[in-house]
Amino acid sequence: MNQILEMRQKRADLWDAAKAFLDEHQDENGTMSAEDAAAYDKMEADVIKLGKAIDRLERQAEIDRELNAPTSIPLVSKPGKPGEDKTGRASDEYRQMFWTALRGHGSIAELRNALQIETDSEGGYLVPDEYERTLVKALEDQTIMRSLCTIIRTDSGERKIPVVASQGTASWVEEEGDIPESDDSFSQITIGAHKAATMIKVSDELLRDSVFDLQSYIAGEFARRIGAAEEDAFINGDGSHKPMGLLHTTNGAGVGVTTASGTAFTTDELIDLVHSVRGVYRPRSAFLMNDTTIRALRKLKDGNGVYLWQPGLREGEPDKLLNHRVLTSAHMPEIAAGNKVILFGDFKSYWIADREGRSFKRLNELYAKTGQVGFLATERVDGRLVLGEAIKCLQMKAS
């Protein structure tokens, strides 16, 4: 049994012990003494810490698998001239010139001549194709939404998407009787391209150090900063200079359940939330909530006294609630009156539109007096819920 499996089993055993402790020490009203509550909180905190440690080990294992994978594919055709099939941002020349430009070396005129076909409208340099894929992968590692939703790529600012507003039906008719017309009707939504940007500063000394991995540093900072902004917008965005999020009042997920309390939810309300989503979407559905909300649901039981939350035991297996995956995001609202605290459904119905061509621009003078160089990183992206019936939310009762 490898380390991850051992830790998963230890986590499951700890959780069983915590549940038994809770059952033994809480009274009929669900309350405990301050000493017992503190002991239970520590047990639950240990479960949470183990879960995070398991996540880290699984990410490390995934990176190890990627690094140990073959770096090239076997040659099965006649070799051609190096780089003859690569043009534009995919070419080796472009990649070399791009990083030379960001490090500030070489002839400016030469660099501009090599890069001028790939500058954006604001003078930045569009990143090479291979590095674009690195940035997108880094974003996926930083956020939960990109791993759940449908990703499309556009080369222009807008894309109109037809959506079925109402579906046709079949009818029973008499022999040789008229067959009534019943066609699908369609509406349209528009996905555009909103701009997200961040300024990354690097010291002159690090840039002159050939050992410093500028590519990895920029990719990591870009993903951390832009990823956080993306995730917040994909969940809470209002559509004003940013994507329209899943919790948008009119164009986001509908309310499947409103709780009877403004401070807590019940097992029955969670079951009602699951069944507020049509059965055709439920096999692919998942829960999304804040980590503090998960803490509350861990104490819920079904009618047989069995805890609803099920920790994953096998490697790569997520925690589950009512037999559906439980995922967390710090950008989901916490439990409070009127808040939409849980999303449930098929997240593939939310579309994220990446406009091709993330851009970096080197700023030499802005931070010169502090011995730093600025790198302005930008991307254009949008997001929109395309199929509203596929995702519902649980909303706390307003105060």
Query: Which structural domains are found in the chain, ordered by start?
Result: 125-165+183-290+329-399 (3.30.2400.10)
pLDDT tens, residue by residue, 303-360: 788 888 887 766 666 788 888 999 999 999 999 999 999 999 999 999 998 887 788 8
Strand order through the sheet with 286-289: 254-258, 391-395, 340-345, 286-289, 324-328, 320-321, 309-310
pLDDT tens, residue by residue, 227-268: 899 999 999 999 888 999 999 999 999 999 999 999 999 999
Query: Which pLDDT score is estimated for 180?
Result: 72
Query: Which pLDDT score is estimated for 163?
Result: 64
Query: Which pLDDT score is estimated for 42?
Result: 86
Tell me which of 137 and 323 has the higher pLDDT.
Answer: 323
Provide DSSP, 43-75.
Answer: HHHHHHHHHHHHHHHHHHHHHHHHHHS-SSPPP
Rounded CA separation 215/148 (Å): 27
Q: How confident is the model at residue 1 (pLDDT cuts 50, 70, 90)?
A: very low
Q: Which two tokens stand for residue 168?
A: 């046709």
Q: How far apart are the first and last CA of the chain?
A: 51
Query: Which pLDDT score is estimated for 335?
Result: 95
pLDDT tens, residue by residue, 48-94: 888 878 877 777 777 666 666 655 555 555 554 554 566 666 777 77
What stretch of H or E contains 12?
Answer: helix 3-25
Distance of CA 128 to the CA centre of its chain: 24
pLDDT for 393 beyond 60: yes
CA angle 309, 311, 314 (to 5 degrees): 150
Task: Say if residues 207 and 214 touch (Cβ distance below 8 Å).
Answer: yes
Which residues, at least 6 apart from 214, have a Cβ–Cβ distance to it below 8 Å?
99, 102, 103, 202, 206, 207
Tell me the average pLDDT of the chain.
80
Mean pLDDT of 378-399: 92
pLDDT for 202 beyond 70: yes
Query: Which pLDDT score is estimated for 83?
Result: 46
Composition of the chain by helix, strand, coil, percent to 5: 40, 25, 40
pLDDT for 218 beyond 50: yes
Any idea which of 123-137, 219-233, 283-297, 345-359 has the lowest mean pLDDT? 123-137
pLDDT for 285 beyond 80: yes
Which residues, at least 6 apart from 222, have a Cβ–Cβ distance to it below 8 Å?
135, 138, 139, 198, 200, 358, 377
Q: What is the pTM of this model?
A: 0.73
Rounded CA separation 172/70 (Å): 60
